[in-house]
Amino acid sequence: MQKSILITGCSSGIGLDAAMTLHKQGWRVFASCRQSADCKRLIDAGLESVELDYNSSDSIRSAVAEVFDRTGGTLDALFNNGAYGIPGFTEDMPRDALRHLFETNLFGPFELINEVLPAMRKQGHGHIINCSSVLGLIAMRYRGPYNASKFAMEGLTDTLRLELHNSGIHVVLIEPGPITTKIRVNSQPHFEKWIDTEKSVHTAMYQNTIKPRLYAPPGKPDKFELPCSAVTKKLLSALASDKPQPRYYVTTPTYMAGIFKRLLSSRMLDKFALRW
- Note if 146 is an active site residue: yes
Helix, strand, coil in percent for the chain, rounding step 5: 55, 15, 30
- With H, G, I as helix, E, B as strand and everything else as coil, classify residue 61: helix
What 41-50 contacts at long range (C-beta under 8 Å, 24+ apart), as own/partner pairs, is: 41/11, 42/10, 42/16, 45/20, 47/10, 47/19, 47/20, 47/23, 49/10, 50/6
The residue from 54, 142, 146, 248 that is catalytic is 146
Which of left, alpha, beta for 227 (phi over 0: left; psi -120 to 50: alpha)? beta
CA 90 vs CA 98, 209, 271: distances in Å: 10, 16, 19
What is the rounded distance in angstroms from the CA atom of residue 227 to the CA atom of residue 205? 29
Beta strands in the chain (DSSP E): 4-7, 28-33, 48-51, 77-80, 126-131, 169-176, 247-250
Instruction: Give the residue numbers annotated as catalytic, written as ranges.
Output: 146
